[in-house]
Chains A and B, each alone.
Chain A
Amino acid sequence: MSFFGLDCVKKKEKETERKIRANDREHNLSFKYATNAIKTSKYNVLTFLPLNLFEQFQRIANAYFLCLLVLQVIPAISSLSWFTTVVPLALVLSITAVKDAIDDLADLLLLSTLCLSSSHPLSPSLAVSFTLALCFCLSLCCPLGEVCCEPPNNRLDRFVGTLVWRGQKHPLDNHCVLLRGCTLRNTDWCFGLVLFAGPETKLMQNCGKSSFKRTSIDRLMNVLVLFIFGFLVFMCIILAVGHGIWEHYEGTKVMAFVPQQNEDTAFSSFLTFWSYIIILNTVVPISLYVSMEVIRLGNSYYINWDRLMFHTGSGTAAEARTTTLNEELGQIRYVFSDKTGTLTQNIMCFHKCSINGKAYEDSVIDMMMVDFSFNSLADPRFQFYDNNLLEAVKLETLEVHSFFRLLAICHTVMAEEKNNDLVYQAQSPDEGALVTAARNFGFVFRLRTPESVCVVEMGVPRTYELLAILDFNNVRKRMSVIVRSPEGKLALYCKGADTIIYKRLHDRAEESIFAGEGLRTLVLAYKDLDEEYFSEWKQRHHQASTALEGREDKLNQLYEEIEKDLLLIGATAIEDKLQDGVSQTIEQLAKADIKIWVLTGDKQETAENIGYSCNLLREEMDDIFIVAADSPEEVRQELRCVEWCEAYERDVQVTERWHGTEIKGLLILGIIFAYALEGSMELEFLRTACMCKTVICCRVTPMQKAQVVELVKKYKQAVTLAIGDGANDVSMIKAAHIGVGISGQEGMQAVLSSDFSFAQFRYLQRLLLVHGRWSYLRMCKFLRYFFYKNFTFTFVHFWFAFFCGFSAQTVYDETFIALYNLMYTALPVLGMGLFDQDVSDGWSLEYPQLYEPGQRSLYFSKGAFIKCALHSCYSSLVLFFVPYAAVRDSVSTDGHDIADHQSFALLTQTCLTVTVCVQLGLDLSYWTAVNHLFVWGSLGMYFLVTFTMQSDGLHRLYASSFPFVGTARNSLDQVTVWLTVLLTAVLCVLPVVVHRFLFMQLNPTINDKVRLKVHQMKAQPPPPRRRARIRRSSTRRSGYAFSHAYGYGDLVTSKRFLRRPVPSRSAGSTPAGRSAAFRPAGRSAGYSPSGQEQNPKQATEPTELQRYRAVHDATFCRQGVAPE
């Protein structure tokens, strides 16, 4: 594109209107709208170095070290050579720069479009007006169509524009646009006109909103670093004051051999302050942040590498998309889960049916799979295991035939033929499943026109005249069709929720179908109609449907009237199968004291059933509170009531375990969120909800999902995790501390905005209980040790100050100061952060309770930090005063004095290195070969480097750079030196051992217990691999789902779809049957854009996200713009 970049030069006036002509490149180019190139990278090859350095120095820690560097070149206060700061800083900067470069230059270009789209005319479910589409199809050929619309903005719910075509103006609203990130469903192609491209797309305009997530450890670290800064200044003030006092009283003495350059005590104290800032700077460890990043990165890779989180079926491995949040995974207290597609597979199966009182079941194990080869139109993917049903069909049992006939006729599915393959486009997956079941049993739904339904019944094509569709809605919970058979018989076929249909049966005695099993079923019934009555009814129906006032009520009355005295045919049970291991995972997470809230758009019954089938609700939870009130006051009352009951129970069971009272389920209907989240009731809601073991919120909108998460984040100060798979979970995923996306069925939106992604819900337990726990443990151990080693290192300087006249003299060799954090102690602690495990993964899963310390932030907190500092304080005292006492006036075995500063420095730093190494060894609970290499290697490296730095050769090369020449060899050959090293190490470490041992005996943590157990088990039998927890799946409840949606009856009877597909149209490989083609609508069941009609009480304005969802699901939108 030739003009790329030009618009940057010429700053345009603010755009007020945008004009685009179809197929008129010159016209469109003249406006210099943004191209489709999105540059999300910050750098290119040339700008990388300056920009990256600039970025890095904006980080407070790096800026601090830059300031230090400046201080160090001021001779009056330079207490350390510049290289002690430059070497670590350069290393840290370059490591970070390399990481930035890899991160950044990897995703240079993202292409996107925002297009005005028309649907493929053959896909009725894409509800954008066909006429408009046709206009556009034509306008594609001639450059006449012109769109005037608003300038780019970030509002997802709004679009205003007009289409001028052939002199006629057509309004355009947000139902006519497809936003970047949308996926086309139920169609293979569409025509579009690009309105906004690249950075101007609504999605990109919204991108800035996603906030940068930080872990609670990060936030704690920020506080601690500030605290450390304060502490550093405090120490330096003490030392500066000490210097002042010392110089005032004894300064004259120094004069004898070192004349003071400045006589002013105050000024000299001031300089001393800065000198000590330089010396003690190591309390704020420069390599801390970069080491933390490395550890997090490593632990992220472990997640990516985990074969046990790899889903063979889809070939997807788990992915840590954010590499900075790992340790937070070990602290989760609330999990917010989506239902469909997350807990369930979102694949509907025709699972059971009952015809004329006889049940046919899918779950009988010894049955052979039914062979549908007799039926050339059968869907090969369909499976059923009860051959009796097929026998019944073949025997032409009347009831069985009418059962399947009903299934083949009474629905709103569209059929389409692609490559001689029959493909169903269903608005809800379960409808698709039912029609597919009928198809396989020989009642093949072939074709639909607005007035007829063509069915091939056992090989014989029959066309039923479709006289009326009595559409489904949430109140009716049923749908009916009235058809005239080829023989001319009029019949009403009805299917609906069991409770509803039972009331409308002619003979109410038949209510016992599946009752023993308590199944939620879809019941099928029919009724023969009288011709006269029907024509009269039809008349009234027509009147009602054209009535201006109260149309809805009138229609409903009419439906009521005709849908009665039904005759029962049978019942079906459609199952949205739970994913593998869901209930076991939930049980495990519950044991780890992780509260799971299911937030679903689904209906109450579905949610409840899912709750039972995945162990969230149990049979023993007798009290399941269902809060479903209609007004704020009622909601408040119901919440109070729950609370009160809880309190009462607690009093009753006070002698039992306190937790006993927690076994409560709470079901909350989404409608009440409008009230519950109003503010005044927020807390009440939260208090009640948190008292319950299980919370299931149904009929919640995406925005409400996010609100619930925010609410818990705000008031419970707990770490939250949201897991979901669809676009409607994005807000929740972004709101939670950790967002997990299930990659698989529902497109990529959830995964793209998530921090971690994997294919199956059950991997969550491994992510949290194994990876999360380890990451948290490692990070905490790392931090504790890191602070310990740096504080110990630094505090020795503090003590030495009292013996060197507060002159900012260093205890150690400068090379040691430069290399301590980088070379001598970096790798062992990094090894701990990457490899340490207290117990193996199997044991972690065996004892989910091991997770609890993380939730309570036991391993690293302010308290733990203070403990670290005190421990360091003790160690530094030992490390200074033991060598001090040992070296005082000491002489070597050949009489030379070895109490010189260089020998003392060497002795102290050797003591320090050995001590922190031993301390690390004590902290390390998992010594792999790598750890051995790191620990012994670092120690070896220390001596190697020390001897090299103090060797004759180097001194001969650069005399003044290596003043320590010969110190190591003169002093390290003394027995007393080694005895001192041993003494300090033992004195530093043994109290820690005693402390830990006694605590382990007197107050053992769960960790101690499990570790001891593992230890004991190792001698005897192998550790129990995770017991197969075959939990008897509840027979009484099962997760049957309805996901019908309102509004399809009109659609299929309207003439807005073409009658026949164009046979020559090359078809892609859109999967048919129960898989992809059914997907889109399943999700919409919970939230449909026309929800306001269904829930008139929901008075709140639809939020932006709801609307976004509405746009996204434009497929279900009936109000397409029809310019007729």
Chain B
Amino acid sequence: MKAGPSRTNRPDNTAFTQQRLPAWQPILSAGIVIPGFTLIGLAFIGVGVALFVTSQKITDLEIDYTGVAATSPCFKCTSFAAENCMCQMEFTLTTLFEGPVFFYYGLTSYYQNFRTYGVSKDGYQLSGDTYYFNNPQDSCAPYQYDSNNNPIVPCGSIANSMFSDTFQLYQVVNGMKKQVPLDGKGIAWWTDYNIKYSNPALVNGSFANAFSGTVKPVNWSKPVYELDPTDQANNGFLNQNFLVWMRQAALPKFQKLYGRIAEGDYAQGLPAGNYTLLINYSYPVISFGGTKKVVLSNVSWMGGKNQFLGIAYLVIGSLCIVMAMVMLIIYAKYKFTDDDEDM
């Protein structure tokens, strides 16, 4: 009888309730830490060397065409009066610029990551929901409706501030300008093009009709359905440059893909020689102290040129080795005795 309650009260004898779950109990012993540091150090140095060498091999070329300096060819376009201003920048390649070459435009001091800027768009509108064509979301304010209270499509600050300069690249061959084709297709993310953004359905067989009753963003010269006159498919929200622009940069200094040089004579890259960059200069950056540039670059297995990672890996790898040695010395010299004496 007496054993009855005591047996039922007795807690279960499981590893969990008795806190005896089998466990791995690693400790930071010298046998693990010092070899570990050495190994990490060696591995990092290895990766660092690979990264550094690869990065060194990547060629890139930056051409600033802001035109702040009076000597710059684009200086003339910086005045407010200049409309449809074109300017040319010359550059020379001494060796083959290995392809495929990517053509970027870059901006500095441009806060695409500014919060009120970043939220200023209408996701429904951009996914082709025509209800929002007539009723853009409040987040787009002040680029929600124009002064006549017409809805703006695409609404919001981001769309409104879309980069508007266009570029043409020529190779000067025997004094003749030979256009280097800039392939603007597929420069946007696949997901942006296929999933995130959609054009509205055609209305009466016309794409433009789908946008009837709406107006273009105030800063734009052309409505969204006429962005690319050369390619009917590259219009609306699925315009590649528009998509690239809409993917806001994380930092105030950024570059965005403009086109690829991978066709025809230039499939292997840009041969050595003189080149001319023809710029349709329309995007104002002087007002906020920004700069504009064009970047030509090729890529490797690690992407574009980036010295940082390689150097960081090398430095940290070396530090690991140094620390491993320091720890070894300290361990050898001071390692505590395991006697019970103090315990």
Task: State the A residues within 8 Å of B (CB).
Answer: 75, 79, 250, 252-259, 261, 275, 302, 304-308, 310, 312-317, 774, 803-805, 807-809, 835, 837, 840-841, 847, 849, 882, 884-905, 925-931, 952, 955-956, 959-960, 963, 965-966, 969-970, 974-976, 979-980, 983, 986-987, 990, 993-994, 996-998, 1000-1002, 1004, 1006, 1008-1016
Whether B249 and A901, one on each chain, are in contact in the complex, defined by CB atoms closer than 8 angstroms, is yes
Whether A926 and B29, one on each chain, are in contact in the complex, defined by CB atoms closer than 8 angstroms, is no
| A-B residue pairs in contact (CB < 8 Å), sample of 7 | A261-B141, A307-B13, A317-B10, A804-B114, A889-B306, A963-B196, A1004-B336
- The docked-state distance in angstroms from the alpha carbon of A897 to that of B241 is 13
- The docked-state distance in angstroms from the alpha carbon of A262 to that of B221 is 28
Q: Which residues of B contact A975 (CB under 8 A)?
A: 301-303
Q: Which residues of B contact A809 (CB under 8 A)?
A: 113-115, 118
B11 at the interface (CB under 8 A from A): yes
B47 at the interface (CB under 8 A from A): yes
Query: Taking A899-B254, A925-B25 as contacts, is the C-beta distance between A956 and B195 under 8 angstroms?
Result: yes
> Distance in Å from the Cβ of B31 to the closest Cβ of chain A?
10
Whether B302 and A893, one on each chain, are in contact in the complex, defined by CB atoms closer than 8 angstroms, is yes
> Distance in Å from the Cβ of B79 to the closest Cβ of chain A?
16
Q: Which residues of A contact B260 (CB under 8 A)?
A: 895
Q: Which residues of A contact B334 (CB under 8 A)?
A: 1001-1002
A959: which of B47, B129, B247, B335 is its contact (CB, 8 Å)?
B129
Q: Which residues of B contact A305 (CB under 8 A)?
A: 11-12, 17-18
Query: Taking A803-B252, A905-B250, A952-B191 as contacts, is the C-beta distance between A893 and B300 under 8 angstroms?
Result: yes
Whether B299 and A998, one on each chain, are in contact in the complex, defined by CB atoms closer than 8 angstroms, is no
Q: Which residues of B contact A974 (CB under 8 A)?
A: 303
Whether A929 and B21, one on each chain, are in contact in the complex, defined by CB atoms closer than 8 angstroms, is yes
Interface-centre pick from A900, A902, A1015 (highest chain B CB count, 10 A): A900
Contact code string B1-34 (vs A, CB < 8 Å = 1, else 0):
0100111011111000111111111111110010
Q: Which residues of B contact A976 (CB under 8 A)?
A: 302-303, 306, 309
> Distance in Å from the Cβ of A1075 to the closest Cβ of chain B?
14
Interface size class of B (residues with CB under 8 A): 35 or more
Whether A901 and B250, one on each chain, are in contact in the complex, defined by CB atoms closer than 8 angstroms, is yes
Binds A, one of B98-106, B144-152, B200-208, B223-231: B98-106
> Distance in Å from the Cβ of A1045 to the closest Cβ of chain B?
33
Q: Which residues of A contact B288 (CB under 8 A)?
A: 250, 252-256
Closest 3 CB pairs of A and B: A966-B191, A253-B288, A315-B6
Whether B309 and A317, one on each chain, are in contact in the complex, defined by CB atoms closer than 8 angstroms, is no
Q: Which residues of B contact A253 (CB under 8 A)?
A: 109, 111, 287-290
Q: Which residues of A contact B233 (CB under 8 A)?
A: none
Whether B10 and A888, one on each chain, are in contact in the complex, defined by CB atoms closer than 8 angstroms, is no
B313: which of A252, A892, A979, A1013 is its contact (CB, 8 Å)?
A979
Whether A804 and B191, one on each chain, are in contact in the complex, defined by CB atoms closer than 8 angstroms, is no
A891: which of B20, B115, B303 is its contact (CB, 8 Å)?
B303
The B161-209 residues at the A interface (CB cut-off 8 A) are: 161, 187-192, 195-196
- The docked-state distance in angstroms from the alpha carbon of A141 to that of B255 is 102
Residue of B nearest to A894 (CB): B299
Whether A965 and B331, one on each chain, are in contact in the complex, defined by CB atoms closer than 8 angstroms, is no
B248: which of A254, A901, A993, A1013 is its contact (CB, 8 Å)?
A901
Whether B251 and A904, one on each chain, are in contact in the complex, defined by CB atoms closer than 8 angstroms, is yes
> Distance in Å from the Cβ of B290 to the closest Cβ of chain A?
7
Q: Which residues of A contact B244 (CB under 8 A)?
A: 897
Residue of B nearest to A900 (CB): B247
Query: Taking A891-B102, A959-B124, A979-B309 as contacts, is the C-beta distance between A256 and B302 under 8 angstroms?
Result: no
Q: Which residues of A contact B29 (CB under 8 A)?
A: 1012, 1015
Query: Taking A894-B299, A1001-B330 as contacts, is the C-beta distance between A970 and B191 under 8 angstroms?
Result: yes
The B31-86 residues at the A interface (CB cut-off 8 A) are: 33, 37, 40, 44, 47, 51
Whether A891 and B196, one on each chain, are in contact in the complex, defined by CB atoms closer than 8 angstroms, is no
B253 at the interface (CB under 8 A from A): yes
Query: Taking A893-B303, A960-B124, A993-B28 as contacts, is the C-beta distance between A1016 and B338 under 8 angstroms?
Result: yes
Whether A849 and B343, one on each chain, are in contact in the complex, defined by CB atoms closer than 8 angstroms, is yes
Whether B18 and A901, one on each chain, are in contact in the complex, defined by CB atoms closer than 8 angstroms, is no
Whether B306 and A886, one on each chain, are in contact in the complex, defined by CB atoms closer than 8 angstroms, is yes
- The docked-state distance in angstroms from the alpha carbon of A259 to that of B288 is 13
B256 at the interface (CB under 8 A from A): yes
Q: Which residues of A contact B111 (CB under 8 A)?
A: 253-254, 804-805, 807
A997: which of B23, B320, B327 is its contact (CB, 8 Å)?
B327
- The docked-state distance in angstroms from the alpha carbon of A306 to that of B106 is 67
Query: Taking A257-B157, A899-B251, A959-B127 as contacts, is the C-beta distance between A1013 and B338 under 8 angstroms?
Result: yes
The B266-324 residues at the A interface (CB cut-off 8 A) are: 284-285, 287-290, 295, 297, 299-306, 308-309, 312-313, 316, 320, 323
A901: which of B113, B287, B312, B313 is its contact (CB, 8 Å)?
B113
Q: Which residues of B contact A955 (CB under 8 A)?
A: 195-196
Whether B251 and A979, one on each chain, are in contact in the complex, defined by CB atoms closer than 8 angstroms, is no
- The docked-state distance in angstroms from the alpha carbon of A986 to that of B47 is 14
Whether A835 and B21, one on each chain, are in contact in the complex, defined by CB atoms closer than 8 angstroms, is yes
Residue of A nearest to B198 (CB): A959
Residue of B nearest to A312 (CB): B6
B116 at the interface (CB under 8 A from A): yes
Query: Taking A900-B248, A959-B127 as contacts, is the C-beta distance between A930 and B302 under 8 angstroms?
Result: no
- The docked-state distance in angstroms from the alpha carbon of A954 to that of B256 is 27
> Distance in Å from the Cβ of A110 to the closest Cβ of chain B?
23
Residue of B nearest to A967 (CB): B191
> Distance in Å from the Cβ of B262 to the closest Cβ of chain A?
9
Whether A902 and B247, one on each chain, are in contact in the complex, defined by CB atoms closer than 8 angstroms, is yes
Whether B25 and A805, one on each chain, are in contact in the complex, defined by CB atoms closer than 8 angstroms, is no
B120 at the interface (CB under 8 A from A): yes
- The docked-state distance in angstroms from the alpha carbon of A308 to that of B19 is 12
A803: which of B47, B100, B113, B142 is its contact (CB, 8 Å)?
B113
Q: Which residues of A contact B118 (CB under 8 A)?
A: 809, 901
Whether B313 and A966, one on each chain, are in contact in the complex, defined by CB atoms closer than 8 angstroms, is no
B214 at the interface (CB under 8 A from A): no
- The docked-state distance in angstroms from the alpha carbon of A987 to that of B187 is 34
Q: Which residues of B contact A808 (CB under 8 A)?
A: 115
Q: Which residues of A contact B320 (CB under 8 A)?
A: 990
Query: Taking A979-B51, A983-B309, A1009-B342 as contacts, is the C-beta distance between A895 and B257 under 8 angstroms?
Result: yes
Q: Which residues of B contact A895 (CB under 8 A)?
A: 100, 102, 187, 257, 260, 299, 304
Q: Which residues of A contact B335 (CB under 8 A)?
A: 1001
Interface-centre pick from A275, A308, A835, A986 (highest chain B CB count, 10 A): A986
B327: which of A803, A902, A994 is its contact (CB, 8 Å)?
A994
In the complex, besides A890-B303, A1009-B338, 6 extra interface pairs with C-beta distance below 8 angstroms are A306-B18, A804-B114, A888-B253, A888-B306, A900-B247, A993-B37
Whether A886 and B309, one on each chain, are in contact in the complex, defined by CB atoms closer than 8 angstroms, is yes
Query: Taking A261-B142, A890-B304, A952-B191 as contacts, is the C-beta distance between A1011 and B251 under 8 angstroms?
Result: no
Residue of A nearest to B114 (CB): A807
Query: Taking A952-B191, A1001-B330 as contacts, is the C-beta distance between A925 and B27 under 8 angstroms?
Result: yes
Q: Which residues of B contact A1015 (CB under 8 A)?
A: 25, 27, 29
A258: which of B10, B116, B129, B250 is its contact (CB, 8 Å)?
B116
Q: Which residues of A contact B331 (CB under 8 A)?
A: 1001
Q: Which residues of B contact A1009 (CB under 8 A)?
A: 336, 338, 342-343
Residue of A nearest to B21 (CB): A928
Interface-centre pick from A316, A317, A901, A1011 (highest chain B CB count, 10 A): A901
- The docked-state distance in angstroms from the alpha carbon of A927 to that of B285 is 57
> Distance in Å from the Cβ of B302 to the closest Cβ of chain A?
5
B11: which of A317, A896, A900, A1008 is its contact (CB, 8 Å)?
A317
Q: Which residues of A contact B17 (CB under 8 A)?
A: 302, 305-307
Query: Taking A305-B12, A307-B18, A1001-B331 as contacts, is the C-beta distance between A900 and B114 under 8 angstroms?
Result: no
- The docked-state distance in angstroms from the alpha carbon of A866 to that of B23 is 31
Q: Which residues of B contact A255 (CB under 8 A)?
A: 288
Residue of B nearest to A990 (CB): B320
Whether B251 and A310, one on each chain, are in contact in the complex, defined by CB atoms closer than 8 angstroms, is no
- The docked-state distance in angstroms from the alpha carbon of A315 to that of B196 is 67
- The docked-state distance in angstroms from the alpha carbon of A897 to that of B306 is 13
Whether B117 and A257, one on each chain, are in contact in the complex, defined by CB atoms closer than 8 angstroms, is yes
